[in-house]
Amino acid sequence: MKYTILLLASFFLLSCHDSPKISKEKNPPKTPKFGIVIHGGAGVIKKENMTDSLQKAYEEKLEEAISVGHKILEDGGTALEAVQKTINVMENSPLFNSGKGAVLNADGIAELDASVMDGKTKNAGAISGVQHIKNPIDLAYKVMNESDHVMLSASGAEEFAKLHDIEFVENSYFITENRKKALESSKAKEQGVSANEFYLSNEKYGTVGCAALDQDGNLAAGTSTGGMTNKKFGRIGDSPIIGAGTYANNKTCAISATGHGEFFIRNVVAHDISAMMEYQGISLEQAAKRVIQQKLTDLGGTGGIVGIDHKGRVVMEFNTPGMFRATKNVKGETTIKMYKD
Amino acid sequence: MKYTILLLASFFLLSCHDSPKISKEKNPPKTPKFGIVIHGGAGVIKKENMTDSLQKAYEEKLEEAISVGHKILEDGGTALEAVQKTINVMENSPLFNSGKGAVLNADGIAELDASVMDGKTKNAGAISGVQHIKNPIDLAYKVMNESDHVMLSASGAEEFAKLHDIEFVENSYFITENRKKALESSKAKEQGVSANEFYLSNEKYGTVGCAALDQDGNLAAGTSTGGMTNKKFGRIGDSPIIGAGTYANNKTCAISATGHGEFFIRNVVAHDISAMMEYQGISLEQAAKRVIQQKLTDLGGTGGIVGIDHKGRVVMEFNTPGMFRATKNVKGETTIKMYKD
């Protein structure tokens, strides 16, 4: 009997040893809880391939993008709005593979995909293969908010856009000299001609994305991309696929992915991280590490994700040499990185 | 000390109480283990809406389809082959919303989606919005086996098909009188005119799918559909979305879904069932019930799934009045159903 009591007492102590801390923090100072994290693509991003001025340009644009979303959240705006406006900054910059500066398909045309998910309602919107939408993420929002559908594609998505106050541009608006060179290198390689390795090594990467938590406890995630250089046959990658490139659920986390899309689709990466948290009770950090460093890596996939959980903890996990990424916390402290550490 | 020994002994007994059974079955008879399950769409399928001859036609076609796949598995063929050939039978029948007999989009054109996943390699193939491919599932297989991509779309997917020995047909091949009437009813409803309720209630349903386990222990799943009657704007549903409409993983299960696709995408239904099994250690039956009867239903989504786990146990779960479905076990016993029970 004595042993039984001792055993019960031990269990009781083990399960309650945090109680005194809890009672001490009964009335903690009311710091608003929110957070935001972004990526501008993962890939062979190495210091030796980067000039100082290019590095500075990336840092400044990442800082600008994260600050736009952070300000919205600080002012009490929604995670959904923060994600959209943050992604707009990156879509409008030629530095990233989304909107202006998107990579070119085999026909030399920019063909854009995007998606968004609302963690509160689990509503979502996605578009694939549009060629004349200045900010593809804006169209994904319209699909989510103003249609019965989740995913619209190509010219059909553009028809829908015409009915919904979306800015159109010529395809030439998106095209930069760098992306033309990348396409040339990719085609040269296909034909067995020696090609520029710098462009080749990055042809699968550069997507932008954002995940945010607002002061009401709502999560959202969005992703926008030009896909893969020299893509053919109407290829759709993971960015517009809910569950693969984008996922948000207030119970767990919000995730945006970047990398070799085919592997992210096969691993259902964004949803898998959320499912591990929900069903195994592990942290976002643990789940992201397992999915990216084990499951994705085991299958031969490369890339990364950014994510934020319902408590505002952020993660930026990748298995490539680098990933453009930034986060800004409640105190306004910014972290901007591009290499492994 | 006595108590500790008693406790340890209990643990030992608890963990080992199955041992005698195991030793008895050291040399069990070698029954080959395989299985197959199919659906022909979920929706408002009620006895009062069905004539005897139509019911017989469905039963015969489901029997034919499941027997084709079952024979392949019985003869030692792969789950992948069984899934493909079984789906072909349903694609070639005007009874189902896939291949011949597919529903029509707002322009009166059949626009087809399909996907397949291999549970052994987690490789996958998907196509969306093709208009001239006789058997869309065959093209999904080609994408999986003969491209670096997972998902190809529309005319791009057809360009790829031209390079890969795929049968083309005129779009008129797919179109049936019933589907024309369904489109008329849907358009009438849009314009506030009274419409045929029978056609309306089924406009979102009719997809076909198959999940199978072969004698080598490999799982596969595939799905093929015409999508939603009167669909616009290049709408893509869940059928070609890996994780939503189709998923297979040798560790857990193979799933094919049917229903109101948007909700299946938002819930990442097929992968969610697999994730629950993997991370919570629950059965396929339990996981399918929770995802369809709780999570999907709570969000307002309607439809169902068929699935098979790595031990050959099948599930046919839906929250609609009916689902065309069939399974055939190792002994050759067939179950064919369409209503709730």
Domain that holds residue A74: 35-252+265-339
Q: Across-strand partners of B75?
A: none
Nearest to A88 by CA among A31, A156, A135: A135
**Residue B4 resides in a domain:** no
Query: With contacts defined as CB-CB under 8 Å, which chain B residues touch A266?
Result: 117, 122-124, 150, 242
Q: What is the ipTM score, two decimals?
A: 0.90
The number of domains in chain A is 1
Whole-number pLDDT of residue B314: 98
Residue B12 predicted with pLDDT over 80: no
Structure confidence at residue B311 as a pLDDT band (50, 70, 90): very high
**Residue B227 resides in a domain:** yes
CB of B78 closer than 8 Å to CB of B213 = no
**Residue B125 resides in a domain:** yes
The tens digit of pLDDT for each residue in B180-214 reads: 999 999 999 888 887 666 665 655 567 999 999 99
Nearest to A113 by CA among B123, B272, B224, B153: B153
Cβ–Cβ gap A234/B299 under 8 Å: no
**Is residue B320 flagged as an active site residue?**
no
Structure confidence at residue A248 as a pLDDT band (50, 70, 90): very high
Whole-number pLDDT of residue B28: 61
Cβ–Cβ gap A262/B148 under 8 Å: yes
**Residue B63 resides in a domain:** yes
A39 Cβ neighbours under 8 A, 6+ residues apart: A207, A208, A209, A210, A256, A258, A304, A305, A306, A316, A323, A324, A325
**Residue B118 resides in a domain:** yes
Cβ–Cβ gap B271/A266 under 8 Å: no
Give the pairing of strands B124-130 and B219-225: unpaired
Closest chain A CA to residue B122: A266
Residue B19 predicted with pLDDT over 50: no
Closest chain A CA to residue B154: A234
d(CA B136, CA B130): 8
Cβ–Cβ gap B234/A4 under 8 Å: no
Cβ–Cβ gap B234/A276 under 8 Å: no
**Residue A9 resides in a domain:** no
**Residue A133 resides in a domain:** yes
Radius of gyration of chain A (CA): 21
B3 Cβ neighbours under 8 A, 6+ residues apart: A3, A4
The tens digit of pLDDT for each residue in B33-79 reads: 999 999 999 988 888 888 999 999 999 999 999 999 999 999 999 99
Q: Across-strand partners of A221?
A: A117, A211
d(CA B189, CA B209): 29
B307 Cβ neighbours under 8 A, 6+ residues apart: B37, B211, B221, B253, B254, B255, B256, B273, B284, B288, B314, B315, B317
List the structure tokens of A131.
Answer: 């060629």
List the structure tokens of B299.
Answer: 């969000």
Closest chain B CA to residue A156: B233
User: What is the phi-psi region of residue B190: left when phi exceeds 0, alpha when psi lies from -120 to 50, beta otherwise?
Assistant: alpha
Across the interface, of A117, A157, A233, the residue whose CB is closest to B160 is A233
Closest-CA distance, A70 to chain B, in angstroms, reads 27
Structure confidence at residue A199 as a pLDDT band (50, 70, 90): low
Whole-number pLDDT of residue B145: 98
Of the residues B78, B86, B207, B246, which is catalytic? B207
For residue B109, give the CATH number of its domain. Answer: 3.60.20.30
Catalytic residues of A: 207
The tens digit of pLDDT for each residue in B128-153 reads: 999 999 999 999 999 999 999 999 99
d(CA B317, CA B290): 10
Whole-number pLDDT of residue B171: 98
Nearest to B211 by CA among B85, B77, B307: B307
**Residue B189 resides in a domain:** yes
Whole-number pLDDT of residue B9: 43
Higher pLDDT: A285 or A48? It is A285
Structure confidence at residue A195 as a pLDDT band (50, 70, 90): low
pTM of the model: 0.91
